[in-house]
A and B are shown apart, each in its own frame.
Chain A
């Protein structure tokens, strides 16, 4: 389990070698190999994410705070992660403008999700000011 990093590095190097190999003959397969390599590496990370999330949740339950905010935080993390994945693939394939638009969409959705937190912060500040 701890030595997964070696596997991940080897998978990454292998994907790169295949991309370099195939670039000459069939350039349209580059993006497929890069997506497959990315998905496999992210699925490797996935098995580590469970314990991390569980410990975060434990920590959060110790503090007397609304669990709704924790859900928003998780959603924002997932959106950032997926957005980055998609936009990197688009930019690697040379479509910078689509990648930028995916990033913009991610940013807008994150702002939309975090509006309740900002509002509650402003409420709190107004309460503090007599």
Chain B
């Protein structure tokens, strides 16, 4: 697992925040909500796969099934 994941998540968060502001200023509230939701789902998927990797690693290390 590499450290770039933290950078990626932070970058996605900042980009989503900027897009959110832009769409809100352009009077597109519903698009802004959708962008926020999509960002959260994408990052959630990344984080969940990281947690799955960690748990798999622990289980193989301790020989638990």
**Hey, which bits of chain A sit against chain B, CB under 8 A?**
11, 14-15, 18, 21-22, 25-26, 28-29, 32-33, 35-37, 39-40, 42-43, 46, 49-50, 53, 71, 74-75, 77-78, 81-82
Contact = CB atoms under 8 A, between A and B. Distances in A.
A35 B10 contact: no
Given A26-B16, A40-B1, A75 B53 contact: no
A35 B6 contact: no
A35 B62 contact: no
12 contacts: A25-B14, A26-B16, A28-B40, A32-B43, A32-B44, A33-B6, A36-B47, A37-B6, A40-B2, A75-B64, A77-B62, A82-B55
Contacts of A49: 61
A39 B53 CA distance: 9
Nearest to B18: A25
B65 to A, nearest CB: 11
Contacts of A42: 54
Contacts of B5: 36, 40
Contacts, number: 90
Nearest to A35: B47
Interface of B: 1-3, 5-6, 9-10, 12-14, 16-17, 20, 36, 39-40, 43-44, 46-47, 50-51, 53-55, 57-59, 61-64
A88 to B, nearest CB: 13
B54 A29 contact: no
A3 to B, nearest CB: 15
